[in-house]
Structures are given as C-alpha cells and as structure tokens.
Structure 1
C-alpha cells in the first residue's frame, strides 16, 4: 500500500475505534457503577453491558487486524496467527449478534401486548427465556468452531497445491455454511420487529375504538422499541455484508492497495451500535445529556477538574 493510503487507512481505523470505544465504555461505566452501588442488575442492563463488552472486544479485534494487515501483512497468512484470529473474530461476532437478538426479544416481551397463552407464558418468564436463548446460542458457536477447524485444514492442504480456483470455491462454500449460524439471530430480530409492529397496530386500533386520540406511554414505548430494533437490524446487515465483501476482496484482490478500505465499514456496527443503545435507553440518554451539559463549563477549567467531575458523575 502506498504510504499516503496506508496513513489515511490507519487514521480512519483509529478514529472509528475511539468513537466506538467512547460509546461502549460509557454504557459499561454507567451500568457497572449502578450494579456496584445497588448490588444487583436488571436483565436489560445486563444485556446492554454484555453488548458493550462484546462491542469493545470486537473493536479491538478489528483494529488489531487492520494494524496487522497494514504493517505486517504476511503474519495473517501464517496458520499460527490465522486460526486463533479467526476463532476470536467469530466468537466476538457471535455474542454481538445474539445479544442484539436477545435485546430485541426482551423489548418484544416487555412492551408488546398479545393474549395468546404462549406469549403470556414467555412474558412471565422473560428473565429465564433470555438466558436460555444465550445458552442455546452456544450450540451454534461450537458448530462454527468445528466448521472453521475443518475448513482451515482443507484450505491448508489446498493452498499447498496452488489451486486458486479450488480455494475460491471452497471459501465460497465455507462462507455459506458459516452464514447459517448468523441467519438465526437475524430471523429472531425480524420476528421481534414484526410482532412489535402488530402489537402497535392493535394498540392504536384499540385507542381509536375507545375514542382516545392522544398518544399514551404504551404507544411511545412501542415506537421507541421499533426504532431501536430496526436500527440494530440494519446495522447487523451492513456489518454482515461488509465482512463478506471484505473477505472476498482480500481473496480475489490481495495485492490491491484499495482493498483494505473495505474493512472500514466493519467498524460501523460495534461503533454505531453503542450510540443507538444510549439513545434507546432513558437512563443512558439522561446520563449522557447530564454529562454533556457539565462538559461545556468544564472545558474552561483544567483537565484534572474535568476528570474528577466525570468520575463523580458515573458514581452517582
């Protein structure tokens, strides 16, 4: 890569990394401080904190990959580094997508209103349903590991034969199989969004039948949850297709100087996801606004006063 392009790529990667870290660390500090203070944590705060940790882990993995590809491109071609980096990447991506799906299901069970016995049964046991879904997702993670181990051995044997056409064909098949595990959390998010919409339509119809024209709390909760689930779903899709496109571009055009820039959209999900979570949570949004209001006058003070104030805000 030309020195100018390399520098631009590294600057953009570091900028996206720090933007994502800002939002995710904020979520983690707020929820963990309340957890320590109250000696307990709610289910939604646990999901948000886990998502923040998963996003931070994924940001570190992406940044490390960007640095290695730019500064030491030959390292990723070695089996000793390629296999563990792939496993770490799949692990962070797995928990991020499944936790996002669990958050969508949580909003569905907490906000939507249906009289079906199955929905009521799930609604009453939401604190058990979400952990069970996360535990069940580990089956897909094990399936991922087995597939990756199998295809790594096949790729290693095929690469020694220098058959590029066969390598591309095997890579395409491996991506199809690995995408199946990504398919399930996406479907769960879509189902949650669909039933949230049905519940909103039903609730709005009941308001009109009762001659209630004003918006109530339930309507606003439905709309807020739908916006969050829709935004997260779109980010997941952008994230998924960015990964597939990046992998394919590196396989087809490994020596192209502009190929590395396809990594930049991969940062969008772990970086932008945190700010969607902050905007979708009343507590996080109010705490963020409180911090921003106090930052303006503190800009004129010394950095030590600013640091002390931020620590006190998180402790409160």
Structure 2
C-alpha cells in the first residue's frame, strides 16, 4: 500500500507498538509474580493485569497488521487472513476498552466521596458492580462480533485493495455496510459514557476534597492532599488519552472511506490510534507505588549492567591497542 513512506511507517509503528508491549508486559509480569507470591490479588490489580494482557494482545495484532500493511498489502485480498485480522483487532480492542472502563469505575467508587444514597449503595457493592460491568460487556461483545463479518467489505475498502479481485465487496453493499459501521461504533458509546462520567465525577470529588482540606486549615503539604493532586493528574492523563483513542477509532473509518487513496492519512490515523494502549501503561506505572518502585529497581539494574558492559568494552579496546 505504501511506497516511499512504507519504511518510515513500519519503523515508527514498530517503535510505538514494541514500547507499548514492553510496558504492558512489565505490568502483567509484576502483578502475576505478586499474585503467586502472596496467593491473593486485589480486584484493582486483577483488572490492571487483565488490561495489560489484553493490550499486549491488541498491540501484537496491530504489529502484525502494520507489517502486512507496509510490506504485503495485497495479502488482505485473502478472505481468511482479512477476516482473522479484523476479528482479532476488534475483539482485543473491545476487551481493552471494557477493562479500562471497569478500572475507571472502580477508581471512582473507591476514591470518590459523595453523600448521595445511590453512590453509597454502589460503593458498598463496589466489587459486584465492577464484575457486573464485565459480565455485561460479554453480551456487548456478542453483538459486536455479529457485525464483524458484514463490515469486512468496508474495512477491506479502507486498505485500498483492488475490488475486482474480491468477491466479498460490491458497490451495492456499501450502503448497508456503512449502516452496520454506525452500529459498530455505537457499541463503544456505553463504555465511553461510563468512563467519561466516572472520571469527571472523580475529578469533581477530588477538587471538593482538596478544597475542604484547605478550608480546614490543613496545609497544601498534607499527604492526603498530595495524593489527591497526584490522582487528579492521573485522571486527566487517562481521560485525555482515552478520548483521543475513541475519537480516532470512530472518525478514522469514515475518513478512510472518503480518502482511502491518501496514504499519509492512513499512516497518521494508524499511529494515533495506538497511542492510548502504548502510552497509558506507563501512566499506570507512574501512578502505582508498587509498579513504580519495581520499575526503578529494574532500571537501576539495567544501568549497572550497561556500565559494566561499557567498562569491559573499554578494557578490551585498550588491551587490543
């Protein structure tokens, strides 16, 4: 599909996806080792681990997709390959979206402070509410899965494949496929609304809590105040990346349909679409004391190892000279 820009696209895509996979693999490995060591795991750590695993799978599919798009674009003319990539990408993206939504709802119920009876009722049943959301996502995944086969024609049209070689695409089927594409996008409306509402309400609660601490003559250096301000930064970063991901995910198919011959647009939107699953793991690491301390130790050991390797190289060069 790409000519001169193919190499640049592949390099940028591999760098972005591999970095994201390393971050997600680190989160999954740390939490799994902690789980094995203590033989128990909190619901938050369990969701974060599942989110990291699902994102790793998502990025792995995206990496394979980028490789095929850049080097073997006409391979998408194979019906089995195209169907497999579309299903894997859609399912992993849907699963990561719902795990992220459940995590945002869990943080909201766990950290926020409201006196409304409905909020208190939900807070007392926090674990059941989050698990209920995940069970509900399975029914949503079923309806999303049923739309995938009918969307194959539109998604193949996005890649700009020669339609004369495809038996599953026809101009007459373009209109109903676009309608299915709208329904496919609406499946992400519920997790988006839940996440946006949870994060905004959590932000409001944190602002009110900080204001109450300041009015109560507690200095801004109070540990609770610092923790809440740190949580605000985490929430804003998460909200910003999540909105970007959903925006590009909903807008990109329509832009592809309009300008499928513009390779730069496809490059830009493909790279932007993977920012959220690639960057957000590092925000989770910085916001989690356990993950942050483990990451600091790993980086320290790597730094020491690199220094030893550098010293050995210098000694070998000096001996040779």
Q: Please show how residues 1-316 of structure 1 align to structure 2 within 5 Å.
A: 1=1, 3-152=3-152, 164=171, 169-262=175-268, 263-302=270-309
Identify if the C-alpha distance between structure 1 residues 98 and 162 changes in structure 2 by more than 3 Å, giving closer, same or farther.
closer
Secondary structure (helix, strand or coil) at the match of 1:212 reads: coil
8 Å Cα contact 1:10/1:66 also seen in 2: yes
Secondary structure (helix, strand or coil) at the match of 1:258 reads: helix
Identify if the C-alpha distance between structure 1 residues 168 and 248 changes in structure 2 by more than 3 Å, giving closer, same or farther.
farther
Alpha-carbon distance between aligned partners in 1 of 2:48 and 2:247, rounded to the nearest angstrom: 24
Deviation, 1:174, is 2.6
For 1:4-39, what per-residue CA distance to the aligned partner results, in whole angstroms no more than 9, with x for missing partners? 421111111111121111211111111111111111
Deviation, 1:296, is 2.0
Alpha-carbon distance between aligned partners in 2 of 1:37 and 1:242, rounded to the nearest angstrom: 40
Task: Between the two structures, name the one with larger relative contact order (CA 8 Å, sep ≥ 6).
Answer: 1
Alpha-carbon distance between aligned partners in 2 of 1:287 and 1:301, rounded to the nearest angstrom: 21
Q: TM-score, normalised by structure 2?
A: 0.83
> How many residues align structurally?
301
Structure 1 unaligned regions, length at least 5? 304-316
Alpha-carbon distance between aligned partners in 1 of 2:17 and 2:168, rounded to the nearest angstrom: 38
Secondary structure (helix, strand or coil) at the match of 1:301 reads: helix
After alignment, is 262-271 or 72-81 more displaced? 72-81
Alpha-carbon distance between aligned partners in 2 of 1:144 and 1:162, rounded to the nearest angstrom: 20
> How much is the aligned-residue C-alpha RMSD, in angstroms?
2.8
